[in-house]
Amino acid sequence: MKIRISIPLAIFPIVTILFLTGCTPPKPAGLSNEQVFQAVDQTLKAINARDYQNFVQGFSDEMKNAFTEEKFTSLADMLQKTSGNYVSCADTRPDLSNNQGYAVYRLVYKYDLEGVIVTVTFKIDGDKVEGLFFDSTNLRKISQ
């Protein structure tokens, strides 16, 4: 006796598994949301103060090696010129996603001249900054 399974019936379990795995919430870093806010706040205040040591304090060793004092000065100059000084956080809850083993947080911050989206990455369950990115209208204009 031959058992025949229809194609839709065979595909249903596969689609269900794919759907359910896509619905799982993103995994966070090893920090609470409040600690993420504090880490970014400290970093942005260090940029305003042009304090390199405080800027890299919460960075991973890889980030410290990659983000030299010269690159820090260049970043501080560019942010001051395009966006002004950091004022405050405009977000109450960070937008969290995952990408290749990293917890990616996107937050909106108020600067003197405009809002700036700051994206900070941590390893999932990690507590050191692994990536730091800035985006705004004025920053895009200057990079063209």
Is the pLDDT at 127 greater than 80? The verdict is yes
pLDDT, one tens digit per residue, over 91-106 is 778 889 998 999 999 9
Residue 59 covered by a domain: yes
pLDDT in tens, 23-80: 567 888 888 999 999 999 999 999 999 999 999 999 999 999 999 999 999 999 999 9
Residue 125 has pLDDT above 80, yes or no: yes
Q: Structural domain tally of the chain?
A: 1
pLDDT band at 107; cut points 50, 70, 90: very high
Q: Is residue 37 part of a domain?
A: yes
Report CA-CA distances (Å) from 69 to 7, 25, 57, 58, 119. 60, 37, 13, 15, 20
Structural domain that includes position 34:
27-142
The 10s digit of each residue's pLDDT in 16-34 is: 454 444 556 788 888 899 9
Q: Is residue 11 part of a domain?
A: no
Whether 114 maps to a domain, the answer reads: yes
Mean pLDDT for all residues in the chain: 86
User: Which pLDDT score, from 0 to 100, does residue 20 have?
Assistant: 44
Is the residue at 1 inside a domain?
A: no
- 127-130 own/partner pairs: CB under 8 Å, 24+ apart: 127/29, 127/30, 127/31, 127/35, 127/58, 128/58, 128/59, 128/60, 128/63, 129/39, 129/43, 129/58, 129/59, 129/60, 129/63, 130/60, 130/62, 130/63, 130/102
- In a domain, residue 13? The reply is no
Q: Is residue 45 a part of any domain in this protein?
A: yes
Residue 22 lies in a domain: no
CATH for 135: 3.10.450.590
